[in-house]
Every structure is written in C-alpha cells, then in structure tokens.
Amino acid sequence: MVKKIIAKSYLYFILLLMYLPIFLLIVFSFLSSQTVGFIAEGDHFTFELYVKLFQNAAAMNALLNTMLLAISAAIVSTVIGSLGAIGVFYMRPKAKQVAELATQLPVINAEIVMALSLGILFYVVLQGQPNFVTLMIGHVVLTVAFVYLSVKPKLQQMDPSIYEAALDLGAKPGYALWKVVFPEIVPGIVSGFLLAFTLSLDDFIITLFLKRPGFDTLSTYVENRLRVGLPPEIRSLTTLIFLTAVLVLVFNGFKTKTADKKKLIAHKTEEK
C-alpha cells in the first residue's frame, strides 16, 4: 500500500513539473498581465492577446512557414519511412539487421551533429544555397526514422504470409501491397505522420542551420524575439498549439481504439 502511494505521488509530481508551466501559460493567455506569473492591480480576463496574435504579421508568417514545412516533411517522411519499413520487414535476416541498425542511428545521434553534417553537405560540398528544399530534407532526415519505428510494430503484428497468399492467388505485388499490407499498418502510418509532424513543428537546431535568411519558423522567431522581448500574444499562440496537439492526440487514440475493437470483433466472429 505504501509503495503504491509513493509510486503514484512520484508520477503525479513528474506530471505536475511537466504540465504546470503549460497551464500557467494558458491561464495568462487570458489575462491582460504583461508578465507571466505576476498579476497586477487592474489586470483582468480578456481575449485581447488572441486578437493581437492574428494581427502580428511576423508571428503569423512564422506560423505559416512552420505548418508548411512540418506538413511537407511529415508527408515525405511518412512515405519513405512506411515503404522502408515494409522493405526491411521482408528482407533476409542479415540484411535486415544492418538496415535496422542504420535506421536507429538518426534516433540516437545528436541533432547538432546532424545539422552540421547537412550544412556541410549542402553548402560546402554541393555549393548550394539555403532554401526551402534543403530545409525540408533536413527535417525529413530528422523524422523518417521515427516513422519507420512507428510502422514496424504494426508489421510485426501482421501475419507475414498474407502477402504471399495474395501473390499465390494471382494478385500483382503492388496490388497485394495496397490491398493486403497497407490496411494492416494504417494506424502505424498515422502515428508516424503525427510524430514526424510534431518533431518538425518544434525543431530549432536543424532549422537554424539550414534555413535561408529571412525565413523564420516559430522556433527561430521566438529565439529572435527573446533578444528584444517576447510579445505577450505568444502566450496565446502556445495555448492554441497545445490544445490542438491534445485534440489530435485524443482523436488518434480514439480512432486507433475503435479500429482495434473492430478487428477484435471480426476475429471473434471468425472463430465462431
């Protein structure tokens, strides 16, 4: 009993440390206070910061750049990572071990090393210029391994013989892949896309090294504004991002749970 109380208390303490600053920002995004953590006389509840946010052209431009970059990188990473996971899954054992080791390196590798190496490749070796494509490639390199790791468990849960059975029944490889394998790994693909999108959304180091002058994402915009003072309306922006992430997470969890229930019901029906 005592161990359970200590374990729960420790868990709640960690969660408090993680989410208390976020909740503090959310509360102060609805207050007219100029300083987070300090409520002066006359401060009141207001939506003024949300109005100012959409009037801040620099912040809106950074948000648009961030969303465009994150969506583009997530789509490319999802396609490459999903196809790569399928390819590795059907490899021979020795080649499979080498491929899996290669996919784990970007996960454990320091992001600063990745940013420096990509910068040297693009701007020193290839003599290129910073642009949106090079920045997106950097984000794809960062996120593709996480898509692979999201799709891999779904492939392992799948019966590997169903693809071969489809081929034996006359289906072409591409058709069998689309109709048999793909439906089994959709939850992993969706999770991989969301993970890639999130990682790209808040990346700072790779963006700082690979972005062209004048192109700002939210992370670089906030970093630049910290030198002269962060506008209060950024509190409302962080609130909107956090609430959007929560809604997406809840929706994805509900969708996955519903799909698992349908599979369980179908499996029980087949047994009967």
| Per-residue pLDDT tens digits for 102-115 | 887 778 888 888 88
Under 8 Å between Cβ of 142 and 106: yes
Distance CA 234, CA 53 (A): 7
Domain contains 31: no
Domain region containing 121: 64-211
Yes or no: say if 119 and 209 are a contact pair by the CB < 8 Å rule: yes
pLDDT at 266: 67
The answer to whether position 29 is within a domain reads no
Residue 92: CATH number of its domain: 1.10.3720.10
Tell me whether residue 104 is in a domain. yes
Parts of the chain with a pLDDT under 70: 38, 259, 263, 266-272
Tell me if 71 is assigned to some domain.
Answer: yes
Q: What is the pLDDT of residue 72?
A: 94
pLDDT at 253: 75
Number of domains observed in the structure of the chain = 1
What is the pLDDT, as a whole number, of residue 258? 75
Span 113-143, pLDDT tens digits = 888 888 888 888 888 888 888 999 999 999 9
pLDDT of residue 10: 87
Question: Is residue 187 one of the residues assigned to a domain?
Answer: yes
Q: If you compute the radius of gyration of the chain from its CA atoms, what whole number of angstroms results?
A: 23
Exposed, middle or buried by CB within 10 Å (0-12, 13-18, 19+), for 259?
middle
